[in-house]
Amino acid sequence: MPHDPAQPTRRGFLVESALAAAALGSGLGCGPRPARPDAAEAAANAGSASAPAAETGRAPAAARDAAAGWRPFPVVEAAGSPSELGAAVGRQTAEQIRRTMDAQRAWLEELRGFAMADRAARLDPFVAAADRHHPEVMAELRGLARGADLPEDDLLVWNLQPEIGASIQAQAAPGCSTLHLVAGPRILLAHNEDGSAAYRDDLTILELHPAGRPAIACLAYPGLVPGQVPAATSAGLVVSTNFIATREVRPGVPRYVLGRAVLGCTTLDAALALATGADRAFGFTLNLGSVPERRLVCLELAPRAHDLLLPRGLFVHTNHLVLAGTRDVPQTTGSPTSSSGSRFQVLSEAASRVTAPEGLAEADLVGLLSSHEAVAQPYSPCRHTDVPTGGCTLATAVFDLVAGTFALHEGNPCEGRRREIDLPWRAS
């Protein structure tokens, strides 16, 4: 069973109060928060006679979270061969997997119906490419299905959401906003992880110990191999990704499989070589850093192209290709009024007003990612479940490559649930 966060763990974790965002200039930081009528309803259901703390901002974080019914993400630990690892995670998260699949049953059936209508052309080529290039990831995926006692085909389709969704031209409003800070003594990677609200109450934190591979600490979606989530490894790599809706989909390695394979690399160069040399099926962005090397890169990937940037100062990325070698690749997002374009413009304008990026810290980046401003509402960096965009901000990760830390702000960053993740290189 998943670990109960109310009980102490072997290593434990720290839940801290919110970091106040520093004032970087007029209009920056967390703007007015969208109305949350659902919070009042949750408080009533919990038997609270007072106004919900999340609305007043005056009550302690613990009281506010209790009123809103918030539960910290549970920790799930697993070790062994790829197959054993997947099976252990599947057994411990079977309930979460079924719940999120049920919540998105129409989407899963649409994907499955399309794939199985012509399996030989629409599913098998992706699986064959993944088996050929990354058999260990596929063994983990199949173990996940076995451990959760679910049909293997359901988990294959579930992990091919980006590729199948693009094939039927049906994608949810893309999310995820990323800030790279490389200035003076600071090297920080901050990332808003956006996705379907159906995942919000069923995310977990995985502590994985693959046999013969680096250990991993990461956020995780139920039923998905962790190839698209903020993660840190015992090799000192830190990773986050951004969804990119390239128009082309090729019968190559699915992006979640490729992203998971990257976590098995022992150096930044090895990870870059793996990602750029792969037979890629679809586009995405890898935000990739190395704590031992003090290096941070942004790698944009399309099925037939890629480009790499070594960020300097404060660099913004959302969900469209912006680098010289990839920005002309046909894609479906990026217009100023799209979700990606709106968030990119808000964050880029904020970054342009920063005169001393070397003075920024985690609180400042979280403040920027907490913004509710938008060029086109409701597409702000910090998105809430009551905003009808097809997605919301599920968590915010901040990696400090100099201090070697991983902070996870659970839920919306403006709500202040900060948690220190135990890093694999610090494990006893």
Q: What element of type H or E holds 108? A: helix 105-117
Instruction: Give pLDDT, residue 18.
Output: 28
Distance, CA of 418 to CA of 65 (rounded, Å): 12
Q: Distances in Å between the alpha carbon of 274 and those of 94, 240, 265, 396?
A: 31, 16, 8, 26
Q: Residues with Cβ < 8 Å from 115, sequence gap 6 or more?
A: 122, 123, 157, 160, 164
Instruction: Tell which wins on pLDDT, 40 or 357.
Output: 357
Distance, CA of 189 to CA of 362 (rounded, Å): 9
Model confidence pLDDT, tens digit, residues 259-310: 999 999 999 999 999 999 979 999 999 999 999 999 999 999 999 999 999 9
Instruction: Give pLDDT, residue 423.
Output: 81
Q: Is the pLDDT of residue 10 over 80?
A: no
Select from 224, 222, 2, 257 the least CA-distant residue to 103. Answer: 222
Mean pLDDT of all residues belonging to the chain: 85
Q: Match 């809706």 to its residue by tokens.
A: 245
What are φ and ψ of residue 200, in 5° steps?
Answer: -55, -40
Model confidence pLDDT, tens digit, residues 321-375: 999 999 999 998 778 788 999 999 999 999 999 999 999 999 999 999 999 999 9
For every residue of 272-334, DSSP letters joined together read HHHHHHS-B-S-EEEEEEETTTTEEEEEEEETTEEEEE---EEEEE-SS--STTTTTS-BS--
Q: Is the pLDDT of residue 203 over 80?
A: yes
Instruction: Give pLDDT, residue 424.
Output: 75
Q: Does the bond joining 378 to the residue before it have cis omega, within 30 degrees of 0?
A: yes
Quick one: residue 392, left, alpha or beta (phi over 0 = left, psi -120 to 50 = alpha)?
beta
Select from 53, 12, 16, 13 the least CA-distant residue to 363. Answer: 16
Instruction: Give pLDDT, residue 96.
Output: 97
Percent of the chain with pLDDT over 90: 75
Domains of the chain by residue range: 83-167, 177-426
Instruction: Tell which wins on pLDDT, 95 or 34.
Output: 95
Q: Is the pLDDT of residue 47 over 50?
A: no
Q: Which fold has domain 177-426?
A: Penicillin V Acylase; Chain A (3.60.60)
- Range in 144-148, 164-168, 183-187 the model is least confident about: 164-168
Percent of the chain with pLDDT over 70: 81
| Cβ–Cβ under 8 Å, residues 161 and 170 | no
Distance, CA of 90 to CA of 87 (rounded, Å): 5
Q: Distances in Å between the alpha carbon of 148 and those of 145, 218, 372?
A: 5, 20, 38
CB neighbourhood size of 146 (10 A) = 16
Instruction: Give pLDDT, residue 51.
Output: 25
Q: Match 């252990």 to its residue by tokens.
A: 88
β-pair partners for 285 = 242, 300
Q: Is the pLDDT of residue 176 over 50?
A: yes
Instruction: Give pLDDT, residue 175.
Output: 84
pTM, entire model: 0.85
Tokens of 167: 């094939």
Distance, CA of 398 to CA of 363 (rounded, Å): 10
| Cβ–Cβ under 8 Å, residues 207 and 187 | no
Q: Is the pLDDT of residue 52 over 50?
A: no
Mean pLDDT of 193-211: 95
Instruction: Tell which wins on pLDDT, 89 or 28.
Output: 89
Q: Residues with Cβ < 8 Å from 169, sequence gap 6 or more?
A: none
Instruction: Give pLDDT, residue 262.
Output: 98
User: Rounded to the nearest 10 degrees, how much is the dihedral formed by the CA atoms of 262, 266, 272, 276?
Assistant: -50
Instruction: Give pLDDT, residue 173.
Output: 57
Distance, CA of 263 to CA of 238 (rounded, Å): 9
Tokens of 388: 């009808």
Instruction: Give pLDDT, residue 281.
Output: 97
Distance, CA of 298 to CA of 181 (rounded, Å): 11
